[in-house]
A and B are shown apart, each in its own frame.
Chain A
């Protein structure tokens, strides 16, 4: 076997592999249940589970300190998007109380090539799930939902993050 160096861009290929594998999972889930809401919930939960594990990697790689307020948390989330998805969402639309903000982006590797069926599917539900899961591990209980979705014809995708409460240090092992 020749030992020529690969002419493929490994980073790009692996990114595409993630996109396509996720796409296949979503499409498979839709095949198995007619209830789109169920699929949205399942995707959110998968994201949650991934977030729970991802936070360890994030903390190790960024040597982050504990966030004292939501603005710091928002910065960290932004940093995580850059680190894991090479995308730079804008943090914007803060509520006056400073406990609620939006992440806005117009490009996301996960939704590349996607042409949506018209059925209320939240294709990227993995992302809010992951944010919720990751923050739960650092004792932050948040709500996370889509306000706008490019895949549904909006100009940008807007994800709203709302602080609910600080959790006690004893963290539940996982959901369900």
Chain B
């Protein structure tokens, strides 16, 4: 089994790689995050299938969100989610005040103000502000999107 530091190093290499890729593509002004987004999505999609395999059936939305906020979050981000809000219409806003991939930023750094992140269904598209954070947030976002589809179906029954 791999040590955590490998993931952290790979994570920053992926960010570098996608920065280079978007440098090549000069037509776009903003950083192209599609690479990071895809990698996060694919990894999230696949790992979710594994994680929920031995899990009892999620009985409702809340059950699903509980899984994301406690079990999943503690596993990947090493802590529980700090706050969960919902509009009760399938939109959930997850807040993590010490996001694993942001705490590596030095204290007092300008990015720190972005640290209390909201990862919701409408994810902040201004990715360049928080590069380092994006791959994981998008992975989480994708997973939530996955579940969201599932929730959608549940609501429609």
- A–B direct contact (CB < 8 Å): yes
Among A1, A10, A84, which residue has its beta carbon within 8 angstroms of that of B6? A84
Q: With an 8 A cutoff between CB atoms, is A92 at the interface? A: no
**Are B2 and A14 in contact, with the CB atoms below 8 A?**
yes
Shortest beta-carbon distance from B39 to chain A in Å: 4
Complex interface: chain A residues within 8 A of B13 (CB):
46, 49-50
**Are A21 and B11 in contact, with the CB atoms below 8 A?**
yes
Among A2, A10, A53, which residue has its beta carbon within 8 angstroms of that of B74? A10
Which of B46-54, B85-93, B118-126, B149-157 is the contact stretch? B46-54
**Are A21 and B10 in contact, with the CB atoms below 8 A?**
yes
Q: Please judge, given known A-B contacts A14-B2, A21-B39, whether A8 and B47 are in contact too, CB under 8 Å.
A: no
In the bound complex, CA of A162 to CA of B69 (Å): 48
Q: Please judge, given known A-B contacts A20-B47, A21-B39, whether A54 and B71 are in contact too, CB under 8 Å.
A: no
Complex interface: chain A residues within 8 A of B43 (CB):
17, 20-21, 23-24
**Are A50 and B84 in contact, with the CB atoms below 8 A?**
no
**Are B38 and A28 in contact, with the CB atoms below 8 A?**
yes
In the bound complex, CA of A84 to CA of B11 (Å): 15
**Are A16 and B7 in contact, with the CB atoms below 8 A?**
no
Q: Please judge, given known A-B contacts A18-B10, A22-B10, A24-B43, whether A8 and B38 are in contact too, CB under 8 Å.
A: no
Q: Please judge, given known A-B contacts A2-B66, A27-B42, A32-B21, whether A8 and B51 are in contact too, CB under 8 Å.
A: yes
In the bound complex, CA of A22 to CA of B5 (Å): 14
Q: With an 8 A cutoff between CB atoms, is A120 at the interface? A: no
Among A22, A24, A25, A84, which residue has its beta carbon within 8 angstroms of that of B3? A84
Complex interface: chain B residues within 8 A of A172 (CB):
none
Contact mask for chain A residues 24-67; partner B; CB cutoff 8 A; 1 contact, 0 none: 11011100100000000010001001100110010000000000
- Nearest B residue to A4 via CB reads B70
In the bound complex, CA of A50 to CA of B15 (Å): 13
Shortest beta-carbon distance from A18 to chain B in Å: 5
Complex interface: chain B residues within 8 A of A110 (CB):
2
Q: Please judge, given known A-B contacts A27-B42, A28-B35, whether A13 and B47 are in contact too, CB under 8 Å.
A: yes
Shortest beta-carbon distance from B40 to chain A in Å: 8
Among B5, B14, B81, which residue has its beta carbon within 8 angstroms of that of A21? B14
**Are A86 and B76 in contact, with the CB atoms below 8 A?**
no
**Are B39 and A86 in contact, with the CB atoms below 8 A?**
no
Shortest beta-carbon distance from A97 to chain B in Å: 33
Q: With an 8 A cutoff between CB atoms, is B112 at the interface? A: no
**Are A7 and B71 in contact, with the CB atoms below 8 A?**
yes
In the bound complex, CA of A14 to CA of B75 (Å): 7
In the bound complex, CA of A6 to CA of B78 (Å): 11
Shortest beta-carbon distance from A130 to chain B in Å: 9
Q: Please judge, given known A-B contacts A17-B47, A109-B1, whether A10 and B75 are in contact too, CB under 8 Å.
A: yes
In the bound complex, CA of A30 to CA of B14 (Å): 14
Q: Please judge, given known A-B contacts A13-B51, A14-B76, A54-B9, whether A1 and B84 are in contact too, CB under 8 Å.
A: yes
What are 7 sample pairs from A and B whose C-beta atoms fall under 8 A apart?
A14-B2, A15-B1, A28-B42, A83-B3, A85-B6, A86-B1, A86-B2
| Nearest 3 Cβ contacts at the A-B interface | A15-B1, A24-B42, A20-B43
